[in-house]
Amino acid sequence: MEKSIAEIAGLLQAELEGDPNLTISGLAEIDTAQSGHIVFAENEAWFARAEASEASAIIIPRDIKRGKKTVLKIDKPKMAFGMLMHIYAPPLNFSKGIHPTAVIGTNAVLDDNVSIQPYAVVDNGAVIGKGTVIGAHCYVGQNAVIGEKCILHAHSVVYARMRLGNKVILHSGVIVGPDGFGYVEHNKKRVKVPQIGIVVIGDDVEIGSNTTIDRATLGETRIGAGTKIDNLVQIAHNDLIGENCIFCAQSGVSGSTKVGNNVIVAGQAGLGDHVTIEDNVVVGAQAGIPSNKLIRGNQMVFGAPARNADDMKKQMGAQLRLPKLVEKVKQLEEQIQRMETLLEKIPSDR
């Protein structure tokens, strides 16, 4: 695909400085860019690299002065570059209709323009919304409801009675709705507690490969609209996840935890059960939040147990000073020992 830089400026509503007739044939990273490519730079250091690259044009913040290359100035270069990627990305072409090898259950309802790929199974009573794609070897359980314009990539699973909103994307290996991890002890044995709730996933949610979202024991496990979940994430039974959250790879959430809106949980962070996290919190990588903990909104926490970032930095700074402190204490002890030895040599008054 080729577009003039002037066309791109119009699409992004960006300020163009340079040759308006320049043709852009693709997008690239700065280090691999060739003639005809456009790149983005968010700061002066990146801009210097971009200027030295083979790229033909650069998307930059408005406060950076243009160099020798044609530039597009915009408030958020990375977001603008992402919008361009939607335009230049090769489209996913899914054949419409039901593949002959797919299995469609009794009373299943398939809306217009659905695509049911090879060996997919849509079980009895399931509902598939308009324009949705069910990939190869997917399973949609009995009476599950999948909204419009969803994409279930190959080998993803939606258990019976689960509910997905519109424009939900499940990548390969996602499992929505397995039993929550519920057991009680009886006579020194673990007895399974039936998990009879459901999972409800809001609109425009994207879930990465091999992530699992457990059904509720009773009621709902809920993922709010706009939330994005990375690969290899565990969401346990009865968790209530807010809107526009981000969960990075290998993070995990124990049961009955409530997460507010616009929360970021970084890689390998762990949330205990019955935790409450208010809006606009960032949980740092490998942080551990103990069970029943309340994390107030609008802050960053990290560490194990997780604490406010400013407090943790002070604590870590103090820990780094400990070796010098130990050495200082040792020196003081030696001084005291020498003083005591000297005092013992002084004759006492009689």
Residue 243, token pair as written in the block: 């809107």
* Same domain assignment for residues 348 and 208: no
Q: Which domain covers residue 141, as residue numbers?
A: 98-308
Place of tokens 């990548």: 171
Written as six digits, the tokens of 253 are 């959430």
- The residue from 86, 153, 237, 274 that is catalytic is 237
Compute the distance between CA of residue 202 and CA of residue 169 in angstroms, rounded to an integer.
Answer: 11
**pTM for the structure as a whole:** 0.87
138 within 8 A of 154, measured Cβ to Cβ = yes
Residues 217 and 296 both lie in one domain? yes
Residues 264 and 328 in one domain: no
* Cα(282)–Cα(276) distance, integer angstroms: 13
For the chain, 350 residues long, give each residue's pLDDT as a single digit of tens: 899 999 999 999 999 999 999 999 999 999 999 999 999 999 999 999 999 999 999 999 999 999 999 999 999 999 999 999 988 988 888 999 999 999 999 999 998 899 999 999 999 999 999 999 999 999 999 999 999 999 999 999 999 999 999 999 999 999 999 999 999 999 999 999 999 999 999 999 999 999 999 999 999 999 999 999 999 999 999 999 999 999 999 999 999 999 999 999 999 999 999 999 999 999 999 999 999 999 999 999 999 999 999 999 998 899 899 999 999 999 999 999 999 888 888 877 65
* HEC letters along 260-311: CCCCEECCCCEECCCCEECCCCEECCCCEECCCCEECCCCEEECCCCEEHHH
Q: Is residue 313 part of a domain?
A: no
**Is residue 190 located within the same domain as residue 324?**
no
Q: What's the 3-state SS for 168-209?
A: CEECCCCEECCCCCCEEEECCEEEECCCCCEEEECCCCEECC
Dist CA 238 CA 257 (whole Å) = 7
Residue 43 lies in a domain: yes
With b for 16 or more beta-carbon neighbours within 10 A and e for fewer, the 103-117 pattern comes to ebeeebebeeebbbb
237 is catalytic: yes
Counted domains in the chain: 3
In a domain, 93, yes or no: no
Look up the CATH number of the domain holding residue 215.
Answer: 2.160.10.10
184 in a domain, yes or no? yes
Whether 231 and 249 share a structural domain: yes
Is 208 inside any structural domain?
Answer: yes
In this structure, the answer to whether residues 261 and 288 fall within a common structural domain is yes
